[in-house]
Structure 1
């Protein structure tokens, strides 16, 4: 059964952040708040954890399109082919923020994703998740939590999230009520930005 812990975004408690990171390092799954919706996450270096998320989402891991959540743009060169100046300026303007950018992947992706030609990158404007990634030392996988209720689409109340997910994940972070609009997804693999999904992020980036 999962543990529910409260972490305040304006001043994340380092002790609680370490607790979350220990769960991730041990192959656990977490549900965490972001600048958009609550999301399901795990350590990108742990294949078993990623397989658990894939099973929950009902997809094969090799075919899953999980985005990588990074602390900042310094992680880019680890997973993405060299990008041009215009693309980098766009990323600098938009991030941290409510966007997922699809970029061409390089050969350094974790073994699970070796066959992938592209990767989604997120740098949320949220202190808690960035503190977790900083302490962990590498990005986490992310997948938004959808609600069966089509009107809500995304669950926003952390206590309800905990009730629903407590037997599927290892830890739920209560960061207060979340949003219900997902990130804006923009494909940058073809030179010109292409809107894949309009979400919280403004298209004027």
Structure 2
């Protein structure tokens, strides 16, 4: 049974955040809010958690998770950034963007693209996930909470709890955070290519 935590969307209660982080440190899988819909998350080193997320979403081994970071410093430890990428991405974060970049050795090989050695990273602009990431002290392995056969991600915490009670360890409910996913920008070839238009303004790239 999943723990249900009703968290204030702008001023998250420290006790609730600590409870979420404790669950993650015990290799739990959570549903949590972002600035571009709810997501599923677990610790990067939690192999079993990654498989649980794949099972929930009916994903195969080729699915690439996003590494969700607390700040630009943390992001910079996971991916290689040249000067132009550094300036543009720093100006756009935090925000509803996912950036695909070449991974550093810090990223486990199983999480990077097999041929390109690339990985998706983002810094969300949502007080709740920001608080979770700060206290956790490491990135989250994450995937949009889009269930098999659904056209849109789930938006209501109570519904997430009801549908996924047996397969999650916690549901962090901070109210509706929309259904539009991130805008995805591929920077692996040295220049930005918008490969999915979402919540973030693509024109800046």
TM-score, reference length from structure 1 = 0.92
Shift of residue 4, structure 1, vs aligned partner: 1.0
Pair 1:145 & 2:145 matched? yes
Shift of residue 114, structure 1, vs aligned partner: 6.1
Pair 1:17 & 2:5 matched? no
What is the RMSD of the two structures over their aligned residues, measured on CA atoms? 1.5
- 1:67 is matched with 66
- 1:106 is matched with 104
TM-score, reference length from structure 2 = 0.92
- 2:168 is matched with 169
Q: Is the 8 A contact 2:38 2:145 kept in 1?
A: yes
Secondary structure, counterpart of 1:204 in structure 2: helix
CA gap of 1:111–1:187, structure 2 versus 1, over 3 A, is: closer
- 1:91 is matched with 89
Shift of residue 78, structure 1, vs aligned partner: 2.1
Equivalents in 1 of 2:150, 2:79: separation in Å?
A: 36
CA gap of 1:75–1:59, structure 2 versus 1, over 3 A, is: same
| Structure 1: runs of 5+ lacking an equivalent | none
- Cα deviation per residue 1:50-107 (whole Å; 9 max; x = unaligned)? 121122222344x2200000001101232212x2111111111111000000000122
Q: Is the 8 A contact 2:112 2:119 kept in 1?
A: no
Equivalents in 1 of 2:13, 2:87: separation in Å?
A: 33
Q: Is the 8 A contact 2:43 2:49 kept in 1?
A: yes
CA gap of 1:145–1:197, structure 2 versus 1, over 3 A, is: same
Q: Is the 8 A contact 2:64 2:111 kept in 1?
A: no
Q: Is the 8 A contact 1:107 1:114 kept in 2?
A: no
Secondary structure, counterpart of 2:77 in structure 1: helix
Q: Is the 8 A contact 2:57 2:146 kept in 1?
A: no
Equivalents in 2 of 1:38, 1:114: separation in Å?
A: 23
Secondary structure, counterpart of 1:27 in structure 2: coil
How many corresponding residue pairs?
201
- Cα deviation per residue 1:10-53 (whole Å; 9 max; x = unaligned)? 11111111100011011111000100111110011222211211
- 1:49 is matched with 49
